[in-house]
Amino acid sequence: MGDEVKGKDLGGGVSTVKATRKGRGNSSRLSSKHQVTIPVDVMREAGFKVGDELVFKVEDNQVVVTKQRVDLLKWIASLNGFYDGYDFAAERADAWPD
């Protein structure tokens, strides 16, 4: 999927021109609600998708944004008490010795 736009040239033929979208770049402004829009090119390059949970850290005076990784064991443990009393850490240690 490219950023190309079809249009008619002055001679009546159809030409394909690289589209330039207003405001498209690699910067964004911080809103009064402390929100930032991630530019689409940056989002794609980072592999972020709509609905991803992002984690923000400050390292050496720079903000680092990463995708939240899902801890499967924490997710399983949250299943309405289904595994109450089951020791996930011990099970993992037995299954995956160092």
Give the domain CATH number at 35: 2.10.260.10
Q: Is 17 helix (H, G, I), strand (E, B) or coil?
A: strand
Question: pLDDT tens-digit profile of 62-89?
Answer: 999 999 877 776 677 677 666 667 777 7
Is residue 14 within 8 Å of 8, Cβ to Cβ? yes
Which residue range(s) make up the domain with 55? 25-67
Structural domain includes residue 6: no
Are 90 and 74 part of one and the same domain?
yes
Question: pLDDT tens-digit profile of 41-66?
Answer: 899 999 999 888 899 999 999 999 99
Q: Is 73 helix (H, G, I), strand (E, B) or coil?
A: helix
Structural domain includes residue 33: yes
Give the residue among 43, 67, 38, 36 at the shortest CA–CA distance from 53: 67
DSSP state of 80: T
pTM, two decimal places: 0.46
Are 53 and 72 part of one and the same domain?
no
**Neighbouring C-beta atoms of residue 83, cutoff 10 Å:** 14
When divided into structural domains, the chain yields a total of: 2
